[in-house]
With several copies, the nearest count.
Chain A
Amino acid sequence: MLSKDQIAQRIAREVKGGQYINLGIGIPTLVANYIPENLEVVLQSENGLLGIGPFPTEAEIDPDLINAGKQTITMVKGSALFSSAESFAMIRGGHVQLTILGAMEVSENGDIANWKIPGKMVKGMGGAMDLVASADNIIVAMQHCSKDGKSKLLKECSLPITGIRCVKKIVSDLAVLDVLPEGGFKLLERAPGISVEEIIAKTEGKLIIEGEIPEMKFD
Chain B
Amino acid sequence: MINKTVANAAEAVKDVFSDAVLMFGGFGLSGLPENSIAALLEKDLNGLTCISNNAGVDDFGIGLMLKKRMVKKMISSYVGENAEFERQLLSGELEVELIPQGTLAERVRAGGAGIPAFFTPAGVGTEVAEGKEIREFDGKLYLMERWLRADFSFVKAWKGDTSGNLIFKGTARNFNPMMAAAGKITIAEVEELVPAGELDPNQIHTPGIYVQRIFQGVNYEKRIEQRTIRKS
Contact = CB atoms under 8 A, between A and B. Distances in A.
Direct touch of chains A and B (CB < 8 A): yes
A71 B105 contact: no
A18 B225 contact: no
A12 interface: no
B132 interface: no
A90 B106 CA distance: 12
B128 A57 contact: no
B135 interface: no
Contact of A63 (B103, B162, B222): B222
Contact of A75 (B123, B201, B210): B201
A145 interface: no
A65 interface: yes
B229 A61 contact: yes
B209 A50 contact: yes
B227 interface: yes
Contacts of B86: 121
A56 B181 CA distance: 31
A48 B1 contact: no
A62 to B, nearest CB: 6
Given A70-B225, A123-B80, A95 B105 contact: no
B177 A72 contact: no
Given A40-B1, A72-B227, A130-B122, A81 B197 contact: no
A69 B173 contact: no
Contacts of B230: 54-57
Contacts of A61: 224, 227, 229
Contacts of B96: 122
Interface in B210-232: 210, 222-232
A42 B209 contact: yes
Given A57-B229, A61-B229, A162 B126 contact: yes
A205 interface: no
A81 B171 contact: yes
A172 interface: no
Interface residues of B, number: 80
B189 interface: no
Contacts of B106: 85, 88-89, 92
A121 B90 contact: yes
Chain A interface: which size bin? 35 or more
Best-surrounded residue of A45, A77, A83 (most CB of chain B within 10 A): A83
Contacts of A73: 228
Given A66-B171, A85-B106, A133-B123, A76 B30 contact: no
Interface in B125-155: 125-128
Contact of A77 (B197, B223, B232): B197
B120 interface: yes
Given A65-B171, A164-B125, A72 B224 contact: yes
A71 B228 contact: yes
Interface in A43-62: 44-51, 54-59, 61-62
Best-surrounded residue of A41, A58, A79, A128 (most CB of chain B within 10 A): A79
Given A72-B224, A83-B105, A87-B105, A129 B207 contact: no
Given A41-B2, A130-B101, A130-B122, 12 more contacts: A55-B228, A61-B229, A64-B158, A64-B170, A69-B226, A73-B228, A81-B170, A83-B177, A89-B106, A128-B100, A160-B126, A161-B126
10 contacts: A42-B2, A50-B207, A57-B231, A70-B30, A83-B105, A88-B105, A95-B181, A126-B101, A129-B102, A129-B122
Interface of A: 17-18, 20, 40-42, 44-51, 54-59, 61-73, 75-96, 111, 121-130, 133-134, 160-164
Q: 4 tightest CB-CB pairs across the interface, nearest first?
A: A78-B196, A88-B102, A77-B197, A92-B114
